[in-house]
């Protein structure tokens, strides 16, 4: 609040109250036809605050067309569009404010008049708050959506194995899968909460975008902007906390992702039981952390076990095709199936999710930034294999031209976003030979990542 203070006998206080207790002394109808507005006659008694200059300012700034506010008697506040000084006595403003004993709020006959000026940093703060909220929205939406997708895949696989092993009476596996479904439900709940809060915060971002050209002389508009800034701050903090929780759960649910070369140090459990059945399909039970890992390979499952440094310590793991991984601190039971080979022992034929990498891939087309005529896309060939088909990946820009550099560097396909750049990308898989679309129920893109020069969301 910027103010210019005058100590005067104020004509509007004496003769300009058209609606309140001073209406019988009103004399300005034929002159300017304006009226002052009293705080105590406008604000309900239960909502009133002990008077200070700030309280009066925050009230008067919300009243249209008011430029000045006055304080008198140490407790009375009023707003006026202008003020007119009249002759008075020699008294001064020595009435202490009832809400701030170190400040004066007029005198018994004279008013402390303040001219209101709005601080010019409101627009800047609104823009900054919107930017911070946008980053939080982006993070919340991506994390929430990714976690729900992961949890749904985990739930689907658990249901399959629970049904299959339940039919042969393997209660240990059925219990593992039931616990996995409970864990997946917690992940879905956390992901949905993050997405919901991000969506709500997005509404405030949209409101801020509509207010970006507010008139700082319009006190009502500025007050609305400040309320919006406060909402974005408080709701943004809650959204960050909720998204961080979802992010932490997602890291738990895909521990070991990207690890390799670890499974060679682990032996099949039958090595310690009966080596005659070393390659016989088995299931295990025991003490585990009840936080199933999903979307990993056996190598990555082994890597997760190696990294388990907190109690319970991991001494071994159980892996189910389709990406389910269980870390055990103690094995208590093992069931092996002697009357079926490896293939027939599978509860259902679940194709191994392809790993998309760029080790052997070749970039054959790059018009992602739309510098040439035609579709804005980049194409890489032979980036993976699924169901006997070599895969190509086509990256298409569906929005504005991408301000990015797309290049193939050894194992990594890098999209480097410059500060302020936007990238609305769609990934499509195609059969390398026929160029027809290939639908992948799930996949792990282990060696394709966004490397941001300006961090937008944690990755």
Q: Which pLDDT tens digit goes with each residue over 420-449? A: 556 667 778 888 888 888 877 655 554 344
DSSP letter for each residue of 14-83: HH--SSSTTGGG---TTTT----EEHHHHS-GGG-----HHHHHHHHTTSTT--EEEEETTTEEEEES--
Q: What percent of the chain has pLDDT over 70?
A: 69
**The token pair that represents 251 in the structure block:** 């890291």
Q: How many CA atoms, within 13 angstroms, populate the side-chain half-sphere of residue 89?
A: 7
Cβ atoms 3, 57 nearer than 8 A: yes
Provide the number of structural domains found in the chain: 4
C-alpha angle with apex 419: 418 to 423, nearest 5 degrees?
60
Residue 349 is assigned to a structural domain of this protein: no
300, 193: one domain: no
Q: What is the pLDDT of residue 13?
A: 63
Residue 343 is assigned to a structural domain of this protein: no
CA 121 to chain centre: 26
320, 414: one domain: no
313, 434: one domain: no
Among 97, 126, 248, 122, residue whose Cα is nearest residue 187: 248
Residue 158 is assigned to a structural domain of this protein: no
Which residues does the chain have with pLDDT short of 50?
1-5, 7, 9, 11, 24, 28, 30-32, 341-350, 408-412, 446-459
Backbone dihedral angles phi then psi of residue 23, each to the nearest 5 degrees: -65, -25
Residue 151 is assigned to a structural domain of this protein: no
Residues sharing a CB contact under 8 Å with residue 304, sequence separation 6 or more, in sequence order:
255, 256, 259, 293, 296, 314, 317, 325, 327
Among 117, 137, 166, where does a domain finish? 117
List the 404-409 sheet strands across, edge first. 404-409, 412-417, 448-452
304, 185: one domain: no
310, 376: one domain: no
Helix, strand, or coil (residue 436)? coil
27, 110: one domain: yes
129, 196: one domain: yes
Residue 166 is assigned to a structural domain of this protein: no
Q: Which domain holds residue 94?
A: 2-117
290, 220: one domain: no
Instruction: Kindly report whether the global pTM for this prediction surpasses the value 0.75.
Output: no
**The token pair that represents 430 in the structure block:** 């195609």
36, 104: one domain: yes
pLDDT digits (tens, 9 = 90+) for 69-113: 989 889 999 988 887 665 555 567 788 998 888 888 888 878 888
303, 267: one domain: yes
Strand partners, 408: 413
Residue 170 is assigned to a structural domain of this protein: no
Residue 164 is assigned to a structural domain of this protein: no
Residue 218 is assigned to a structural domain of this protein: yes
Backbone dihedral angles phi then psi of residue 434, each to the nearest 5 degrees: -90, -15
């Amino acid at each position: 609040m910027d103010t210019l203070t005058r100590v005067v006998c104020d004509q509007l206080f004496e003769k300009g109250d058209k609606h309140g207790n001073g209406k019988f002394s009103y004399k300005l109808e034929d002159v300017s036809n304006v009226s002052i507005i009293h705080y105590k006659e406008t604000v309900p008694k239960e909502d009133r605050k002990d008077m200070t200059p700030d309280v009066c300012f925050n009230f008067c700034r919300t009243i249209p067309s008011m430029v000045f506010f006055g304080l008198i008697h140490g407790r009375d506040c009023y707003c006026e569009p202008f003020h007119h000084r009249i002759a008075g006595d020699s008294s001064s403003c020595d009435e202490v404010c009832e809400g701030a004993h170190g400040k004066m709020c007029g005198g018994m006959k004279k008013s402390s008049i303040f001219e209101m000026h709005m601080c010019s940093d409101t627009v800047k703060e609104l823009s900054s708050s919107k930017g911070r909220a946008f980053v939080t929205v982006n993070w919340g939406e991506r994390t929430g959506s990714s976690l729900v997708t992961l949890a749904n895949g985990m739930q689907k696989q658990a249901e399959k194995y629970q049904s299959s092993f339940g039919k042969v009476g393997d209660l240990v596996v059925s219990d593992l899968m039931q616990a996995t479904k409970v864990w997946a439900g917690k992940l879905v709940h956390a992901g949905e909460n993050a997405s919901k809060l991000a969506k709500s915060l997005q509404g405030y971002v949209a409101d801020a975008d509509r207010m970006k050209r507010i008139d700082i002389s319009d006190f009502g508009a500025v007050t609305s902007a400040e309320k919006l800034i406060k909402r974005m701050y408080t709701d943004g903090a809650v959204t960050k906390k909720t998204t961080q929780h979802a992010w932490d759960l997602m890291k738990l649910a895909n521990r070991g992702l990207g690890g390799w070369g670890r499974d060679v140090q682990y032996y099949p459990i039958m090595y310690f039981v009966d080596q005659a059945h070393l390659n016989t399909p088995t299931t295990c039970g025991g003490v585990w952390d009840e936080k199933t890992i999903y979307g990993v390979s056996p190598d990555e499952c082994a890597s997760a076990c190696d990294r388990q440094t907190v109690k319970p310590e991991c001494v071994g793991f159980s892996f189910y095709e389709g990406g389910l991984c269980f870390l055990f601190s103690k094995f208590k039971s093992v069931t092996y199936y002697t009357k079926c080979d490896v293939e027939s022992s599978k509860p259902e034929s679940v194709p191994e999710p392809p790993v998309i990498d760029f080790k052997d891939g070749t970039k054959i087309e790059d018009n992602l930034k739309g510098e040439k005529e035609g579709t804005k896309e980049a194409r890489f060939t032979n980036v993976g294999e699924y169901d006997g088909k070599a895969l190509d990946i086509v990256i298409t820009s569906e929005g504005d031209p991408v301000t990015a550099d797309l290049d193939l560097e050894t194992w990594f396909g890098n999209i480097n976003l410059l500060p302020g750049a936007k990238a609305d990308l769609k990934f499509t898989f195609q059969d390398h030979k026929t160029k027809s679309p290939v639908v992948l129920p799930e996949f792990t893109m282990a060696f394709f990542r966004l490397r941001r020069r300006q961090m937008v969301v944690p990755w």
